[in-house]
Chain A
Amino acid sequence: MNSEPCRVIGELLVDFADGELTVEQRHRVADHLAACAECRAELRLLERSLELAQSVWQEAALSRGEGIGPLLPAFEGRPKLAPAGRLRPHRRRAIAAGVAACIVLLLLASTAWWLPQLRHDRHPPEVIAHQEVGPSPALSDDGIDGFISRRARAARLAAAAQLLASQPGLESYAADAERYVEKVSRDAK
């Protein structure tokens, strides 16, 4: 369809196929078709495409038309439709179902994201680690007793140092006592 005669004939092919050309035009097209295989193929495709389309329409009309007969007499007294262009109930239901599905998905996604966060807040990692490790193997009854008695001694010394600090003239002695208590506390840890 590249040459000029082919383009001119190409414009007439549909009318030629439909039999809507004058006798003179018809002869002209027929003469060209006899000599041009490309235009013949074009004409055949035009005809074949129409045949196929007609068969599709026929099939659709038969399948779409069946069962509509008993409804023909009148539409009066039947439920009134929403005017054309507005959303019909089945479309509204489909949209509502879609929105509901989106909300459910959103809820599931946010729950999946929040659950680990909540767990993390309730059980800080160090606590979890401690629970997982259990009591320290270094602790024994003697060790616990020793720890408590050292802490008690340090507390008694601290109380004595406070008492001394409240007495006039004994401030320097009290300061020495406090340093000692601190040292003993550090050692006790």
Chain B
Amino acid sequence: MRNLVVEQFQPDWTVVPESTKDLLRSVWEKVVPQLIRLIGAMDIGHGCREDVLQDVYLAAWQKGPADVDPMQLQRWLIRVTVNRCKLEYRQRSRWHAVWHGLAARSSRHGSGCGEAAADEEHELVRRALAGLGHEERSLLVLRYFMELDSAEIGRILEQPDSTVRGKLREARKQLAWELKRAGYHYE
């Protein structure tokens, strides 16, 4: 970790009931691979992924819901992770994106024709995804990458199923439109 703060994170075990402690531990271990996939797909930078995970863990200890079943706690953790990723997007500067774009371009030099074409295609998609709003992007990731259905996404984000489906529909259309706008031509 690259933090200078020397204070150590030690949950106050005395005030956390034994049942909550066990529940959080068991759910955390089960859900953390999912959270890592989610954070990765949300395009959170390499240096920030641990920060995001640790923040979610910290939030679970400090503000986690009490008297809930494991499923509810799991949904709560996913929601907190999505929100934390959105916060990360907001903190990212435009220059950060430009810099990464330049770095990606320079790293493509010297690759084969097939690889270059695939990279080009991926770059267009990344640009198209970047053109979407934070909410649309996270909905698409939850539905089409984490493979959660719209009803489950609705429960996680505390929104009605119909709202989620409507937003997903718009997000899909916008993604196709952004891709077209970014210069993608599909034959």
Interface positions of A (Cβ within 8 A of B): 11, 14-15, 17, 20, 41-42, 44-46, 48-50, 52-65, 68, 71-72, 75-85, 88-91
Contacts and interface: CB of A to CB of B under 8 A. Distances in A.
B172 A46 contact: yes
A65 B11 contact: no
Contacts of A61: 36-37, 40-41, 145
Nearest first, the 10 A-B pairs at minimum CB distance are A64-B40, A61-B40, A57-B41, A80-B9, A52-B125, A57-B145, A49-B176, A14-B169, A14-B172, A84-B55
Contacts of B5: 79-82, 89
Interface string B156-187: 00000000010011001101100110001010
A42 B175 CA distance: 12
Contacts of B44: 64
A91 B93 CA distance: 11
Contacts of A14: 168-169, 172-173
Contacts of B180: 45
B43 interface: yes
Interface in B113-165: 121-122, 124-126, 128-129, 140-141, 144-145, 165
25 contacts: A45-B179, A46-B173, A46-B176, A52-B121, A52-B122, A54-B144, A55-B122, A57-B145, A61-B40, A64-B40, A65-B36, A68-B50, A72-B29, A75-B58, A76-B9, A76-B11, A77-B10, A78-B54, A79-B3, A79-B7, A80-B5, A81-B1, A81-B58, A82-B3, A83-B55
Contacts of A63: 40, 46
B87 interface: yes
Interface of B: 1-11, 29, 32, 36-37, 39-41, 43-44, 46-47, 49-51, 53-55, 57-58, 84, 87, 91, 121-122, 124-126, 128-129, 140-141, 144-145, 165, 168-169, 172-173, 175-176, 179-180, 184, 186
B103 to A, nearest CB: 14
A78 B54 CA distance: 10
A83 to B, nearest CB: 8
Nearest to A62: B40
B87 A84 contact: yes
Contacts of B128: 49, 53
A88 B7 contact: no
Contacts of A80: 3, 5, 7-9, 58
Among A46, A60, A91, the one with the most B-chain Cβ atoms within 10 Å of its Cβ is A60
Given A52-B179, A65-B40, A72 B172 contact: no
Nearest to B128: A49
